[in-house]
Amino acid sequence: MMLKTVSYTSPILNGRDYLESLRDGRTVIYQGEIVKDVTEHPAFAPFTRVVARMYDLMSEEDALLYMTDTGHKAFLPYMLPEGQQDLERIRQAMERMHRLSAGMIAQGPEYKGPVIAGLGAAGPYFEPHKEHVRAFYEYVRDFRLYPGNAFTDPQIDRSKRPSELSNPDLVLRVVEERDDGVVIHGAKMVSTAAPFNHEMLVLRYGGANRLTENDADYAFIGAVPLNAPGLKVFSRQSFRPPVGTPFDAPFSTLFDENDSFLFFDRVFVPWERVFVYRDPEKADNWLGQTNIALNLVYGDLIRWQTKFQFYTALAVKVAKANGTIGFRGQQERLGELVAWSELMRALVKAAETQPVPYYQGVMVHPQTVLTFRALRPMIYKRVIELVQEIAGSGAATLVSSLKDLERFPEVIDYVRGATIDGVARTELYKVVWDVLHSDFASRSELTERLHTGNTGDVLIQLFFGAQGMGFDEHYDTIMTQVKKLIEEV
| Distances 379 to 222, 338, 362 between C-alpha atoms, Å | 34, 13, 28
For residues 486 and 483, give the distance between their C-alpha atoms in angstroms, rounded to a whole number: 5
Q: Could you give the 3-state DSSP secondary structure of residue 251?
A: helix
For residues 241 and 439, give the distance between their C-alpha atoms in angstroms, rounded to a whole number: 9
E strands within 228-316? 231-235, 260-270, 274-277
Tell me whether residue 407 is annotated as binding: no
Tell me whether residue 158 is annotated as binding: yes
Q: Which residues pair with 222 in a beta bridge?
A: 202, 274
| Distances 67 to 56, 62, 75, 78, 131 between C-alpha atoms, Å | 18, 10, 9, 11, 21
Q: Could you give the 3-state DSSP secondary structure of residue 173?
A: strand
Tell me whether residue 157 is annotated as binding: yes
For residues 146 and 140, give the distance between their C-alpha atoms in angstroms, rounded to a whole number: 8
Tell me whether residue 184 is annotated as binding: no
The closest of 302, 301, 303 to 255, measured between CA atoms, is 303
Cβ-count burial of 477 within 10 angstroms (0-12 exposed, 13-18 middle, 19+ buried)?
A: exposed
Tell me whether residue 245 is annotated as binding: no
The binding site consists of: 155-158, 192
- Binding-site residue numbers for FAD are 155-158, 192
